[in-house]
Amino acid sequence: MRPSEIFRKKHELWLSMLFGAFSVDNEEIYNILYDFSMIEFRHLKWFGQKLADENIEISFDREEMSYKAKSNFELLKQLIANIDMVKELYEDDADPLFKRFVTDENYFISKLYNLLKDERNDAKIRAFDKRRELEGFELDEIQTDALTLFLFEESYKEYELIMIYTYVNFYTKDKELSNIFIDLIDESFYHLKSFARMMAKMGILTMPRVIMERVYKFEDLEKFLLEGIEEEEKAKIECKKLSDAIKNDSLSRFFDFINYQENYHISLMKRALNKVRESGE
């Protein structure tokens, strides 16, 4: 199989592991799956860098994948099958990168099988039942609609930013710029996790839509950063609106917290913008 196809399958495997983690209530299983998903993301990043260095085309296009399950055990079996399928695609057992993929994923499978041995680990998954209720919070229909729209839009935005900055970083030679992009990726992961876990608790967890190539394969990094700063400013306004609209101190404080973090993201992007203008990258 072509390396670009293996990259696509690794992308799909990472997302199925990540959103599988988001979907479960059991904190132990969630933490295990989330940790494994972050290792899969490192696989994707390392493999993408290898392809970029070899001038092999990279795309974040993907097919429909199975990430929904009715129970924890159904999910674990599904993930084992996904891992086994991708493992079959690795062609060069002597390559240290593929050897790392295989040894990591052999461990993932053994750990998931161990979880399946204990019936106490099984439970119904409610992340997709569309109940639109957040346990412990009394929200009216207008507040629920506002929160739902915000979570859908922002979870997609954070996934999109993770992928854009990852792609740009494959081709960035400047260390300072690279460090800024890595910080922005890490911050977007935290926001995505926070929003997706809230969506799961409301029964509205959804995989972000596919990113169009023109979004991340752009010619003008300066223009992208300028537009990104503008988007972050808009996101701050929406976050503040939501914080004000939801009459709940705990939720309002959370969205204020996210809003204040966006201030620093903007400052990071402005630093990157200045660096791009200085270096002409």
pLDDT digits (tens, 9 = 90+) for 246-280: 877 888 888 889 888 888 999 999 999 998 888 76
pLDDT tens digits for 160-203?
999 999 999 999 988 999 999 999 999 999 999 999 999 999 99
What proportion of the chain, given as a percentage, has pLDDT over 70? 99
pLDDT tens digits for 106-135?
999 999 999 999 999 999 999 999 999 988
Phi-psi region of 132 (alpha: psi -120 to 50; beta: other; left: phi over 0): left
Q: How far is CA 208 from CA 12, 56, 121, 147, 194, in A?
A: 12, 25, 27, 17, 15
**DSSP secondary-structure letter at 128?**
T
pLDDT tens digits for 36-86?
999 999 999 999 999 999 999 999 999 877 789 999 999 999 999 999 999
Cβ–Cβ under 8 Å, residues 43 and 102: no
- Cα Rg of the chain, angstroms: 20
Phi, psi angles (nearest 5°) of residue 124: -70, 140
